[in-house]
């Protein structure tokens, strides 16, 4: 393709190739192909997902229609496990406790992580150092975190043995009371996972254009108004991302409950994942445990889809949204 340019005698325009014009059809075909990669690039990931997610899930669905104690062949029993699941009082109580734990975890972790993340978004060196310190709990495994806090809360050998008498509560044992043990689980999981969500909010806050705050400052807005009218709206997709991770993650808390409370006292902290463990690995009812496991997967998937749908997260178009 070319553009017209006057000739040297000024009478007749001549065609001059332009450096900004598109290449010819042959050149376009001969040049490097730019665009989306082919579907074959996704094959390794799809194979990995099929081997370690789809296939095990298919086996779980199959076992949910059988009776199997771990030895011999599974015996097909139809929908008996699913019928039992619907009418099981232990399952009903576990579902309620799981919902309460999810809501409590979100209510505790979201405001703290949001404020810490916005604060850590500053470029000061002290904030960078403290952010690194805050991030340490996330480097530990859930089992290690639960063991540490169980030792700290031990009424005989932990710090509570000395703190209890000082506050007029000798023999203070938080893990022996149902409500207190549930609160301990909420606190310990928040202590471990708030750094992750703080990191999300820190990245999101750093994406907010500084010109918005400069304009607000010129208009006389204080920090609180700037936070309410600029920071929060700009972080709406980050809040959705963090909330989905938080709620779905809380539906799968297991090792923390196993080590800290063992589902007790009684069944006061027996949430659905721990009930699945007890049914499968203590009662050896793998068919019924499979029904519980598949229900948990379906509920977690449905909750995440509903949250994405209701919040408009799926309508994001920019890659910088949701940071």
Residue 257 shares a structural domain with residue 278: no
Instruction: Give how many domains the chain has, as a whole number.
Output: 2
On the question of a cis peptide bond just before residue 288, with omega within 30 degrees of 0, the verdict is no
Residue 318 in this model has a pLDDT that exceeds 70: no
CB atoms within 10 A of CB 97: 22
Q: Would 36 be classed as within a structural domain?
A: no
Confidence (pLDDT) at 19? 43
Instruction: Encode pLDDT of 228-246 as tens digits.
Output: 999 999 898 899 889 989 9
Q: Cα separation of 130 and 20, whole Å?
A: 50
Confidence (pLDDT) at 131? 82
What pairs with residue 6 in β-bridges?
A: 13
Phi, psi of 3 (to 5 degrees): -120, 155
pTM of the model as a whole = 0.80
Confidence (pLDDT) at 18? 45
Residue 153 shares a structural domain with residue 206: yes
Residue 157 shares a structural domain with residue 189: yes
What residues make up the domain containing 144?
Answer: 102-268
Q: Would 21 be classed as within a structural domain?
A: no
The DSSP secondary-structure symbol of 247 reads: H
Residue 220 shares a structural domain with residue 279: no
Q: Would 189 be classed as within a structural domain?
A: yes
Confidence (pLDDT) at 15? 46
Q: Would 148 be classed as within a structural domain?
A: yes
Residue 170 shares a structural domain with residue 234: yes
Residue 283 shares a structural domain with residue 208: no
Residue 128 in this model has a pLDDT that exceeds 90: no
Q: Cα separation of 122 and 140, whole Å?
A: 26
Q: Cα separation of 153 and 177, whole Å?
A: 13
Residue 113 shares a structural domain with residue 82: no
Q: Would 24 be classed as within a structural domain?
A: no
Q: Would 19 be classed as within a structural domain?
A: no
Q: Would 127 be classed as within a structural domain?
A: yes
CATH code, domain with 123: 1.10.3720.10
Confidence (pLDDT) at 317? 57
Residue 160 shares a structural domain with residue 223: yes
Instruction: Encode pLDDT of 6-59 as tens digits.
Output: 444 444 444 444 444 444 444 445 555 556 777 888 899 999 999 998 999 999
Instruction: Encode pLDDT of 140-199 as tens digits.
Output: 899 999 999 999 988 888 787 788 777 777 777 888 888 999 999 999 999 999 999 999
- Mean residue pLDDT of the chain comes to 84
Confidence (pLDDT) at 99? 93
Q: Would 13 be classed as within a structural domain?
A: no
Residue 209 shares a structural domain with residue 245: yes
Banded pLDDT at 104 (limits 50, 70, 90): very high
Written as six digits, the tokens of 322 are 């949701």
Residue 159 shares a structural domain with residue 227: yes
Banded pLDDT at 221 (limits 50, 70, 90): confident
Residue 262 shares a structural domain with residue 186: yes
Residue 205 shares a structural domain with residue 284: no
Instruction: Encode pLDDT of 250-286 as tens digits.
Output: 888 898 999 999 988 988 999 999 999 999 999 999 9
């Amino acid at each position: 393709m070319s553009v017209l340019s006057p000739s040297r005698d000024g009478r007749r325009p001549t065609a001059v190739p332009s450096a900004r014009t598109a290449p010819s059809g042959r050149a376009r075909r001969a040049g490097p192909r730019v665009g989306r990669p082919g579907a074959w690039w996704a094959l390794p990931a799809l194979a990995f997902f099929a081997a370690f997610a789809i296939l095990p899930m298919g086996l779980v669905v199959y076992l949910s229609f059988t009776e199997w104690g771990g030895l011999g062949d599974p015996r097909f029993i139809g929908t008996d496990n699913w019928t039992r699941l619907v009418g099981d009082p232990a399952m009903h109580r576990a579902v309620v406790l799981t919902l309460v734990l999810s809501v409590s975890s979100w209510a505790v972790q979201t405001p703290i992580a949001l404020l810490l993340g916005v604060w850590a978004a500053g470029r000061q060196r002290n904030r960078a150092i403290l952010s690194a310190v805050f991030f340490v709990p996330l480097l530990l495994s859930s089992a290690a975190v639960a063991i540490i806090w169980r030792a700290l809360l031990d009424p005989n050998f932990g710090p509570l043995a000395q703190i209890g008498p000082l506050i007029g509560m000798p023999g203070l044992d938080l893990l022996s009371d149902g409500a207190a043990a549930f609160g301990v689980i909420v606190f310990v999981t928040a202590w471990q996972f708030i750094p992750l969500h703080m990191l999300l909010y820190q990245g999101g806050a750093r994406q907010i254009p500084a010109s918005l705050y400069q304009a607000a400052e010129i208009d006389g807005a204080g920090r609180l108004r700037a936070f309410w009218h600029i920071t929060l709206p700009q972080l709406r997709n980050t809040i959705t991302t963090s909330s989905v991770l938080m709620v779905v993650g809380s539906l799968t808390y297991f090792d923390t409950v196993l080590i800290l409370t063992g589902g007790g006292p009684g069944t006061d902290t027996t949430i659905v994942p721990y009930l699945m463990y007890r049914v499968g690995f203590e009662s050896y009812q793998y068919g019924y445990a499979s029904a519980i496991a598949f229900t948990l997967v379906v509920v977690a998937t449905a909750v995440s889809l509903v949250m994405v749908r209701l919040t408009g997260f799926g309508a994001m178009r920019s890659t910088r949204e949701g940071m």
